C-alpha cells in the first residue's frame, strides 16, 4: 500500500511530504499498509523507476512520437541542473511526464547537449530512436537553448532532423509581463504606493485598533 501511495503522490503532483499523511489516512480507514517503503529515499527510487523505466519502456515498445522539454535551473551556490520532461499522447490524451533531473557542471550549450545525450542513451533512447520518434523540442528562449548557430536545439537536429523547436509559452509570457512592467513604469508606481503606505502606517495602526482588526504588514510589493 505504501508503494501505491508513492505512485499516487507522483501522479497527483504532490510533495512527498504528503506521503505519511496519506498512509495514516489509509490506516484510519482500516487498510493494512505494511511496514516498508516509507522513507523519502525509497519514495524517490520508486518515482525514478517509474520515470526512467516504465515510461521509457512504453515509448520504446509502442514507438510513439514524443517531444522533449527541458528546463535549465540555476540553484544556490551557482549549482546548475537540467530538468527533462517528455510529452506524449497516451490513451487519447496529451500527457507530460517527468523523466529526470541531471546536474550540470557548465551552462553552455555543448555541456547541456552532452549531458542530455548521455542521459537519453542511459534510458535507452538511442540515435535511431531519437531520429524516428522525437518530433519537438521545447525550452526557454536562452541562446544556449534555441540559438540558431550553436544552441542545444541546433545540436540535436543532427540526430532529429525533422523535429520542431518551440520557445516555452510560460517563459514567453513571463518575458512579456516583465517587458510590460518595465515599459509602463509600474515599478515606479508600486514604489510610490509603498512610500505612501510607509508614511501613513501609524494612521493605519490607529484605525486598525479602533476597528479591532489585525493589520498585516506589507513586506514587499510585487
All structural domains of the chain: 60-174 (3.30.420), 185-211 (no CATH)
Q: What span, in angstroms and rounded, lies between the C-alpha atoms of 19 and 29?
A: 16
C-alpha cell at 152: 542545444
Q: For 158-171, how does the pLDDT look when each residue is reduced to its tens digit (9 = 90+)? A: 778 778 888 888 88
pLDDT band per the 50, 70, 90 thresholds, residue 11:
low
Residue 17 has pLDDT above 70, yes or no: yes
Q: Radius of gyration (Cα) for the chain, nearest Å?
A: 24
More confident residue, 139 or 2: 139
Condensed to tens digits (0 to 9), the pLDDT of residues 41-88 reads: 676 777 777 666 788 888 988 999 999 998 877 766 567 888 889 999
If one counts every other C-beta atom within 10 angstroms of the C-beta of residue 153, the result is 24
Q: Among 43-47, 134-138, 146-150, whose mean pLDDT is lowest?
A: 43-47
Q: What is the DSSP letter of 18?
A: G
First to last CA, the chain: 44
What is each CA distance from 60 to 90, 148, 159, in whole angstroms? 14, 30, 17
Span of 28-37, 76-85, 101-110, 173-182 with lowest mean pLDDT: 28-37
Contact 52, 100 (CB under 8 A): yes
Task: Give the residue-averaged pLDDT of 81-101.
Answer: 87
Q: Which of 30, 73, 65, 196 is CA-nearest to residue 137?
A: 65
What is the C-alpha separation between 34 and 197, in angstroms, rounded?
A: 56
What pLDDT is attached to residue 213? 86
Residue 6: pLDDT band (50, 70, 90) is low
pLDDT tens-digit map of 176-190? 888 877 777 777 777
Amino acid at each position: 500500500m505504501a508503494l501505491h501511495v508513492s505512485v499516487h503522490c507522483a501522479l497527483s503532483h504532490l510533495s512527498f511530504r504528503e506521503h505519511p499523511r496519506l498512509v495514516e489516512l489509509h490506516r484510519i480507514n482500516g487498510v493494512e499498509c505494511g511496514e516498508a517503503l516509507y522513507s523519502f529515499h525509497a519514495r524517490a527510487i520508486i518515482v525514478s523507476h517509474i520515470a526512467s523505466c516504465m515510461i521509457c519502456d512504453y515509448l520504446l515498445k509502442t514507438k510513439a512520437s514524443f517531444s522533449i522539454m527541458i528546463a535549465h535551473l540555476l540553484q544556490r551556490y551557482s549549482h546548475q541542473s537540467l530538468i527533462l520532461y517528455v510529452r506524449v499522447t497516451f490513451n487519447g490524451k496529451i500527457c507530460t511526464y517527468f523523466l529526470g533531473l541531471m546536474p550540470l557542471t557548465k551552462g553552455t550549450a555543448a555541456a547541456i547537449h552532452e549531458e542530455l545525450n548521455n542521459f537519453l542513451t542511459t534510458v535507452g533512447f538511442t540515435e535511431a530512436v531519437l531520429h524516428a520518434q522525437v518530433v519537438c523540442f521545447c525550452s526557454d528562449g536562452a541562446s544556449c537553448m534555441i540559438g540558431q548557430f550553436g544552441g542545444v536545439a541546433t545540436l540535436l537536429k543532427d540526430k532529429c532532423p525533422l523535429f520542431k523547436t518551440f520557445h516555452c509559452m510560460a517563459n514567453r509570457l513571463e518575458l512579456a509581463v516583465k517587458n510590460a512592467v518595465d515599459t509602463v513604469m509600474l515599478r515606479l508606481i508600486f514604489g510610490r504606493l509603498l512610500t505612501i503606505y510607509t508614511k501613513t502606517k501609524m494612521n493605519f495602526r490607529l484605525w486598525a485598533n479602533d476597528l479591532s482588526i489585525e493589520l498585516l504588514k506589507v513586506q514587499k510589493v510585487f
